[in-house]
Amino acid sequence: MQIAKKNNTKTTIDKIKQFLNGLPPLTWVVVALFIIFGLISPEFYLVDNLVNMVRRGSTLWILATMATLLLISGGLDLSLGAVLTFSGVVMAIMLRAGYGPLISSLAGILSGTLIGALNGLLVSTLGIPAFIVTLGTMNVFAGLAVAMSETSAIFIDNFTMKFIGAGAIAGIPVPVWVSIIIFVLSYVIFHHTSFGRYIVAIGENKLGAHLSGVNTGFYTFLVFAYASTMAGIAGVVLASRIQSADPRVGVGWEFDAVAASIMGGTLRGSGKSGITTTIVGVLLIVILRNGLNIIQVPVEWRSAVVGVFLLAGIIIDISIRRRES
Amino acid sequence: MAEKNSVKKIGKIKLSSQAMNSLPRLMILLLLSLVLTFLSPYFLTKLNLINVVAMSSIPAIFALGEMLVVLTGNIDLSLGAIFSLGGVVVAALMKYLLVPVPIAILAGMAAGALMGVINGVLMAKVKLPSFIGSYALRVAITGFANAILQGYIVYDFPPAFRFIGVQRLFGIPVPIYFAAAVFFVIWVVLYRTKLGRKIYAVGANPEAARLSGIKNDRVIMTVYIIAGSMAALAGILQTSRINQAHAFLGDPTLLPGIAAVVIGGTSMFGGVGGAFGTIIGALIMNVIQNGLNLLGAPSVWQQTIVGGIILFAVVIDQSVRQATAKRIN
Amino acid sequence: MVNKLLLKAENISKAFPGVQALDKVNFDLYEGEVHVLIGENGAGKSTLMKIFAGAYFPDSGSIEISGKKVNFRSPQDAQEAGIGIIYQEFNLIPDMNVAQNMFLGRFPKRGGVIIDHKKLHAAADKILKSLSLNIDTRVNVCELGTGQQQMVEVAKSLTMDSKILIMDEPTAALTEREIDSLFAMIKTLKKRGIGIIYISHRLEEVNLVADRVTVLRDGKYIGTKDVDEVEIPELVNMMVGREIANMYAFAKDTDVFGEEALRVENLKSGSKIKGASLAIRAGEIVGLAGLVGAGRTELARAIFGADKYDSGKVFVFGKEVNPREPIDMVAEGMALIPEDRKGQGLALILPTSENIVMANLKGLFNGPFINLKKERDVSNKYITDLSIATPSHTRVVQFLSGGTQQKVVLAKWLCTQSKVFIFDEPTRGIDVGAKAEIHGLMRELVKNGAAILMISSELPEIIGMSDRIYVMREGDIVAELSCNEATQETVIAHAMGGA
């Protein structure tokens, strides 16, 4: 019984071809949008605008990467947007109460961890579908964020936080650094640790993993806790960036995150795309939203267009995968 | 005729076994009512009780529609937007096109049904996961509803229209009649028709259903259409009741609607659940909201509380399910 | 040489609500032996194995491993005690490579956190070599064939230094050649002193692989025999409490076949079906033999409309149908009893009656409404006719036994008055008694004019039941054998390409 060992000699052209084939189909849509928006409105290409998109994208990238990890493990977290908001509010309240930036940030991040732990606990021990659990927690904490901030934005006036939000290291904005670090961390975890491997195992054959001695309950829990912690970090950075904790920001981001993840190809075989291609979906959404703004589509129509576009994007991606398989 | 009688008789037995299943929920409802009577003297007044039941009618209609979708193992997150759309379409038709009231209402429901078709196509043909597809559609529908009214809110509806939301017939508010009619129809569909059997089959095991010759796509499309029509109807009734139509009217209804379905015992996995339970779920949700209002809880806490209720209900439901499963194993 | 006693279980009892699954069962296992465990469905074999594997806790009784008393609280405990179990359903992760699958849960790490891929693959390669397997450990499991996956499962259990290996129906999904490899591997393991507990429904295998045989019946321990001291009929007798002489002695009295019921012309579907043609007539049972992976189930599903196919024609009683959905074929009077009865044949959480009427709602009830009385009467009729062991027609199917569940699936299709049946592994995992009943039912069907296409991997069954046999190999139908031509050798030869 033999499976031939893979022939490893490939020419550079072959490697390029392989890379291009491995790209999610929607990559070309991203490129197209980038070109089209610029053609309609050259302000799109202004450095300020591009930097703006990168900043917004960095937050979404974190959430989308988490959404990808969750989807691979067979789960889903609708509360990521609420965590984003809530952690920012917690941090802002702590700052306002006189605590230092480090403690306030940690408090914000920790609140994310706790929410994720709650989600993970309910999903892993009680077996409640993640969808409904996170729907519940999403509303609980989104509501709490509104209540705690008394419905209005809390301004942040702290030097460190301002630096985190607006500063740059080696020319790259700090928020982007944070996103890159989180991505690298998640990549290493996914490919090179048991935790990451178990995420794949649980998503594909939970029972089998359990019978192999994997503590599926614990790792299911851990994915949620990890995801919400990272979302907490994203929330703290976001609040720093816009210099306020606004309870209305963050609403709907969880959907954008899942949509970005799917358009990045997550619903195809998990081990194949991993978490790297998610960024394509992120770029798509960021460019789309920004572009619609720049070319001055009327506000009432914007959400309709985005909704339709996202639908179309997801449909196209799934249809192409299906045809491939 | 004899056939019909025996159906009724067996119908009675079936009804009581369903009622038996709903017994714990009924108890919860009574318990809540008891607690509220204790906490606030206004609760047990005739006025308030009729008010509670009347107020529950519209969410009940909404929840019954959502329940059908959940029974097939899917979810419809766009129903809140369809709720708004119902009111918006009716408003636009009556105000700008001077369409007579009954036709406007039917058109509104048709709009809801049409959205259901789109949902159905997305889920059944394109095979999108339902939470993604219906959420995206919700964004799109809200956007379109907003675009139709150009961002405005419509007020001042004609009295003929306001009849269905505000008036009473023989002392009972009209929405209750609508709710009763919807309940009756859905009950019959679920328990006495082939469609009902197919709904449960698709929810319980879609592949087995398909291999048994059931057209899953059609069943799913049908439930989305019914749900869309119900949501639109609920939105139309609400528009009549509060004399307003705008694109965000239905946003606060989705969550309590899902809560009602969950509390009512319908499983998110599909194949388990019933009409009667959902009605009780809607009543429970409304009693809770009514109670919160009477106790003076600020509205800003509503979202948190409803979210918490969903969590609570689902945890309890699942714990019970797990406990019985453990006994069997 | 005295062989050490690896495992000794005494007076193991386990009860579930309503049923005593095990009643004071004894079992033991020595180093280097293969001890086969047989018994009807419900006899308790699976329960006993799960207790050994730490997945269930016994109500009473004791277990000693190498002389030491043990009390497993989890599968990990059993693993640590040196017990490895290979379930019928593989526990592999398709999108992870072979090495990662083998060491799932026990990856070698640097610094306790980061996986050491080099070490991992080296260790995996070593084990595969020791079993004379030539599989690349960097390949994802989803790219392996079923037989190779089974080998990976066995290799996996060796990563745990198991001294005791439990195999549950290991040959169920294997080809003859793969079975030979498996048996060779088992010999290797025996030489190393590993004790193997082997569950099988294939009595022919007992002679080939076992040293000793233990029989359970209704949760009770019936007896243990050395394999050279016992013949199959005696074993069957022990299993069912009665002799079943000559399991397939049917008078094949039907040389009178009816009209052509099903014809398939040059059906092609991807790489799985390369152009299959067949025909069956009313009154016939036609077998479809072949190795696992030959495409039989794919062909059946394509014919039934369950899967899409690329080209070809399907005729039912002369009418060209070319199905795209199962309903197309169901409407023409066709039935498919699928391989996976729980996953595809039944809605487990629904009552028996709803499952029975599911495929014929249109025929049973006029208009959109359901007549509850009729539903009940029809269900009860089939419950009686097929001896379906259920307390009532409202009993949820999930609680019925495997053989009973299969009967419910059968009842569903009988209810449709179908005339053409495709049975895919109809008696897999079913005890001897229920097997005979189902075979009897199939014979009844064709006697009354139905046509049956039967897929089976059990050669005695397919040779014994069929009037004709098609043999499939790698997507083609390579042979059509008559009743007389069909022997185990010829069927295998065609299935493997040596004819």
Which has more pLDDT, C94 or A81? A81
Type of residue numbered C163: K
pLDDT band at B169 (very low <50, low <70, confident <90, very high): confident
Which has more pLDDT, A55 or A114? A114
A259·B301 Cβ contact <8 A: no
The residue of chain B nearest to residue A128, with distances taken between CA atoms, is B318
Which has more pLDDT, C60 or B322? C60
A140·B255 Cβ contact <8 A: no
Per-residue model confidence (pLDDT) at position A68 = 93
What average pLDDT does the segment B243-268 reach?
89
pLDDT band at A155 (very low <50, low <70, confident <90, very high): confident
B211·C344 Cβ contact <8 A: yes
Highest mean pLDDT among B93-107, C81-95, C164-178: B93-107
Instruction: Report whether pLDDT(C365) > 70.
Output: yes
- Total domain count, chain C: 2
Same domain for C269 and C175, yes or no, is no
What average pLDDT does the segment C289-309 reach?
86
B212·C326 Cβ contact <8 A: yes
Instruction: Report whether pLDDT(A106) > 90.
Output: yes
ipTM of the complex: 0.83
pTM for this prediction: 0.80
Same domain for C220 and C334, yes or no, is no
Same domain for C357 and C438, yes or no, is yes
Per-residue model confidence (pLDDT) at position B192 = 92
Name the residue with tokens 């509850």: C372
pLDDT band at A10 (very low <50, low <70, confident <90, very high): low
In Å, how far are A60, A78, A136, B320 from A217, measured between CA atoms?
A: 28, 20, 20, 19
Q: Does residue C74 sit within a domain?
A: yes
Chain A environment of B318 (Cβ under 8 Å): 126-128
Q: Write down how long chain A is.
A: 325
Instruction: Report whether pLDDT(B3) > 80.
Output: no
The alpha carbon of residue A48 and the mean position of all alpha carbons in its chain are separated, in whole angstroms, by: 23
Q: Which stretch of A23-32, A76-85, A234-243 has the lowest confidence by average pLDDT?
A: A23-32
Chain A environment of B136 (Cβ under 8 Å): 255, 259, 307, 310-311, 314
Residues on chain A bordering chain C, Cβ-to-Cβ distance under 8 angstroms = 1-6, 188, 192-194, 197, 200-201, 204-205, 207-214, 269-272
Instruction: Report whether pLDDT(B200) > 80.
Output: yes
Question: Could you give the angle at the alpha carbon of C426 between the alpha carbons of C421 and C431, nearest 5°?
Answer: 150
What average pLDDT does the segment C314-330 reach?
91
Rounded to the nearest angstrom, the minimum Cα separation between A292 and chain B is: 14
Same domain for C147 and C272, yes or no, is no
Q: Does residue C317 sit within a domain?
A: yes
The residue of chain B nearest to residue A311, with distances taken between CA atoms, is B136
Subunits close to A (at least 3 CB pairs below 8 A)? B, C
**Helices then strands (H, E): number in chain C?**
17, 22
DSSP state, A4?
A: P
Instruction: Report whether pLDDT(B181) > 50.
Output: yes
Domain region containing C316: 260-496
Same domain for C272 and C149, yes or no, is no
Per-residue model confidence (pLDDT) at position C243 = 41
Chain B environment of C336 (Cβ under 8 Å): 211
CATH number, domain of C349, equals: 3.40.50.300
In Å, how far are B165, B241, B282, C126 from B55, measured between CA atoms?
A: 10, 10, 10, 71
Per-residue model confidence (pLDDT) at position C433 = 77
DSSP state, C72?
A: -
What average pLDDT does the segment A159-165 reach?
78
Burial of B179-217, coded b for 16+ CB within 10 Å and e otherwise, reads beebbeebbebbbbbbbbbbbbbbbbbbbbbbbbbbbbb
Closest C-alpha among C145, C34, C157, C41 to residue C91: C157
B211·C348 Cβ contact <8 A: no
Question: Distance between CA A95 and CA A85 in Å, rounded?
Answer: 16
DSSP state, A193?
A: B
DSSP state, C246?
A: S
Per-residue model confidence (pLDDT) at position C262 = 92
Instruction: Report whether pLDDT(B123) > 80.
Output: yes
pLDDT band at C220 (very low <50, low <70, confident <90, very high): confident
Q: Does residue A324 sit within a domain?
A: no
What average pLDDT does the segment A268-295 reach?
80
pLDDT band at C499 (very low <50, low <70, confident <90, very high): very low
What are phi and psi for residue B231, nearest 5 degrees?
Answer: -65, -40
In Å, how far are B24, B270, C386 from C349, measured between CA atoms?
A: 21, 10, 21
Instruction: Report whether pLDDT(C457) > 80.
Output: no
Q: Write down how long chain B is.
A: 329
Q: State the average pLDDT for chain C.
A: 85
CA torsion C15-C17-C20-C25 (nearest 10°) is -20
Instruction: Report whether pLDDT(C114) > 50.
Output: yes
Per-residue model confidence (pLDDT) at position B129 = 81
Q: In a mutagenesis test of the B interface, which of C330, C349, C422 is the best target, namely the one with the most B β-carbons within 10 Å?
A: C349
What average pLDDT does the segment A207-223 reach?
87
Cα four-point dihedral sign A85, A90, A91, A95: positive
Residue-wise pLDDT for B15-64, tens only, equals 445 555 677 788 878 888 887 777 777 777 777 778 888 889 999 999 99
Which has more pLDDT, A255 or B189? B189
What average pLDDT does the segment A74-86 reach?
92
Per-residue model confidence (pLDDT) at position B211 = 93
Same domain for C214 and C336, yes or no, is no
- The burial class, CB within 10 Å (0-12 / 13-18 / 19+), for C249 is exposed
Q: Does residue A107 sit within a domain?
A: yes
Same domain for C210 and C320, yes or no, is no
Q: Which stretch of C145-149, C183-187, C446-450 has the lowest confidence by average pLDDT?
A: C145-149
What are phi and psi for residue C264, nearest 5 degrees?
Answer: -120, 130
Same domain for C407 and C331, yes or no, is yes
Instruction: Report whether pLDDT(C241) > 80.
Output: no
Chain B environment of A142 (Cβ under 8 Å): 303-304, 307
What average pLDDT does the segment C168-191 reach?
82
Q: Does residue C249 sit within a domain?
A: no
Any A CB within 8 A of B42 CB: no
Same domain for C236 and C265, yes or no, is no
- Are A89 and A149 spatial neighbours (Cβ–Cβ below 8 Å)? yes
Q: Percent of chain C at pLDDT above 90?
A: 29
Same domain for C47 and C160, yes or no, is yes
Per-residue model confidence (pLDDT) at position C17 = 63
Same domain for C304 and C419, yes or no, is yes
Q: In a mutagenesis test of the B interface, which of C334, C348, C361, C408 is the best target, namely the one with the most B β-carbons within 10 Å?
A: C361
Closest C-alpha among B241, B226, B257 to residue B80: B257
CATH number, domain of A82, equals: 1.10.3470
Per-residue model confidence (pLDDT) at position B21 = 65
Closest C-alpha among C82, C18, C95 to residue C53: C82
Per-residue model confidence (pLDDT) at position B183 = 95
Q: In a mutagenesis test of the B interface, which of C307, C327, C332, C336 is the best target, namely the one with the most B β-carbons within 10 Å?
A: C327
Chain B environment of C369 (Cβ under 8 Å): 192-194
Residue-wise pLDDT for B223-254, tens only, equals 999 999 999 999 999 999 999 899 989 988 99
Q: Percent of chain C at pLDDT above 70?
A: 91
Per-residue model confidence (pLDDT) at position B112 = 96
Q: Which stretch of A147-151, B105-109, B179-183, C308-312 has the lowest confidence by average pLDDT?
A: A147-151
Q: Does residue A21 sit within a domain?
A: no
Per-residue model confidence (pLDDT) at position B5 = 26
Q: Does residue A2 sit within a domain?
A: no
- The burial class, CB within 10 Å (0-12 / 13-18 / 19+), for B6 is middle
Domain-ending residue, one of C240, C268, C296 = C240
Q: Which stretch of A150-159, B243-252, C91-100, C152-161 has the lowest confidence by average pLDDT?
A: A150-159
Q: Does residue A18 sit within a domain?
A: no
Q: Write down how long chain C is.
A: 499
pLDDT band at A268 (very low <50, low <70, confident <90, very high): low
Closest C-alpha among C346, C272, C269 to residue C310: C269
C114·A193 Cβ contact <8 A: yes
Q: Does residue C34 sit within a domain?
A: yes
Q: Does residue A15 sit within a domain?
A: no
Per-residue model confidence (pLDDT) at position B8 = 32
Subunits close to C (at least 3 CB pairs below 8 A)? A, B
pLDDT band at B272 (very low <50, low <70, confident <90, very high): confident
Q: Which of C85, C93, C134 shows the shortest C-beta gap to A200?
A: C93
- Are B264 and B9 spatial neighbours (Cβ–Cβ below 8 Å)? no
Instruction: Report whether pLDDT(B295) > 80.
Output: no
Which has more pLDDT, B230 or C489? B230
Q: Which of B193, B327, B328 shows the shortest C-beta gap to C369?
A: B193
- Total domain count, chain A: 1
- Are A118 and A128 spatial neighbours (Cβ–Cβ below 8 Å)? no
Size of interface B-C (CB pairs under 8 A): 92
Instruction: Report whether pLDDT(C463) > 50.
Output: yes
Domain region containing A52: 28-317
* Count of C-beta atoms within a 10 Å radius of residue B104: 23
Same domain for C319 and C282, yes or no, is yes
